Amino acid sequence: EAYRLWFEEAKALGPSNLKEVKERLYAFYDLVKASEIEEFMKAAETFQNWQKEIMNSFAFNLHNGYIEGINNQTKVIKRNAFGYRRFDRFRLRVLLHHQYKTINGRVA
């Protein structure tokens, strides 16, 4: 619950006050250490290892949702394309689906 509260506050503060977001994250770490619950402590250690990336996500509002969507669509094509015998044709089909206009090849 404390993490959810920190996350909501961090989204609200956003890039305007990263110092406050970081201070509240450290308060969350202290709360986890005080609880002495091994699973929470391991999760907090993971947060500390990825803290730079987590803070950057609030600072720059970047995410990989667009790329994940492309990857998902490509996997769907791959599941449906079990009949392709040649990789180059499968590759062209994926590129065509994602509307790449400059394909070096012929779609047959």
Which H/E stretch holds residue 72? helix 65-80
Whether residues 6 and 55 fall in one domain: yes
DSSP state of 38: H
- In tens, the pLDDT along 62-84 reads 778 888 988 998 898 888 877 77
Report how far residue 16's alpha carbon sits from residue 7's, in angstroms, rounded to the nearest whole number. Answer: 15
Same domain for 41 and 89? Answer: no
The reported pTM is 0.57
Provide the pLDDT confidence category of residue 26 given band limits of 50, 70 and 90: very high
Rounded distance between C-alpha atoms, residue 17 and residue 22, angstroms: 9
Answer yes or no: do 51 and 72 share one domain: no
Is 80 found in the same domain as 37? no
Considering the domain architecture, whether residues 32 and 72 belong to the same structural domain is answered as no
Q: Which domain holds residue 55?
A: 2-60
Domain count, the chain: 2
Looking at the fold, whether 69 and 55 belong to one and the same domain comes out as no
How many Å apart are CA 9 and CA 43, to the nearest integer? 19
